[in-house]
Amino acid sequence: IAGITQAPTSQILAAGRRMTLRCTQDMRHNAMYWYRQDLGLGLRLIHYSNTAGTTGKGEVPDGYSVSRANTDDFPLTLASAVPSQTSVYFCASTGGNTGELFFGEGSRLTVL
Amino acid sequence: GQNIDQPTEMTATEGAIVQINCTYQTSGFNGLFWYQQHAGEAPTFLSYNVLDGLEEKGRFSSFLSRSKGYSYLLLKELQMKDSASYLCAVMDSNYQLIWGAGTKLIIKP
């Protein structure tokens, strides 16, 4: 049972480059989320999707875009990376009534 | 604005009991969550409270008082593997999770 898989686990890229973080889940969960986690701050929601074909903006959406073509995949794209986007990115999904989140292992992104 | 407060860091001794507090001010309330996050790993679900009172799950218990905007996570019989960050999160009226910055728990032998 894979749960949620993120790729890459770690990446260093130059400012201005385009980058897509991949997220795939096999739990048939409807809702999926992208968070970033920075030292001293709580998890901050970037974008979310309540169901395939729909997406919404979270707390910190600027500079990021997402798509949800099907239930399983929810990629996050940085169109033109900037150093302030250096962070650990977590993809998560939920399908239960309690709202329990299942997280991927995270993608550590460094923008130089 | 919406706010979740929890201590930045706590230290406790192996075998002892520790209580991690969380206070919140949010737009509405649809439940409070506690997650555990070991260094370099993803958060994992510990507990969910939506009604006032204590929920016990093995060595871990979580308490909620909605009138006071307050919760705590109680860890008993501490083990070295309990060294981790503990994240408090509240689901607001829009069913969005608001996260605290986390409490880093250090366990000493």
pLDDT tens by residue, chain B, 109 residues? 789 999 999 999 999 999 999 999 999 999 999 999 999 999 999 999 999 999 999 999 999 999 999 999 999 999 999 999 999 999 999 888 999 999 999 999 9
Contact A90 B4 (CB under 8 A): no
CB A104 within 8 A of CB B42: yes
Reading the block at residue B64, the tokens are 């909620």
Residue of A nearest to B86 (CA): A42
Q: Is the CB of B27 inside 8 Å of chain A's CB atoms?
A: no
Residue type at B53 in one-letter notation: G
The CB-side HSE value for B72 (13 A sphere, CA atoms) comes to 10
CB–CB contact B101 A41 (8 Å): yes
Three-state SS at B26? coil
CB pairs under 8 A between A and B: 48
> What pLDDT sits at residue B60?
97
B45 vs A contacts (CB less than 8 Å): 100-102
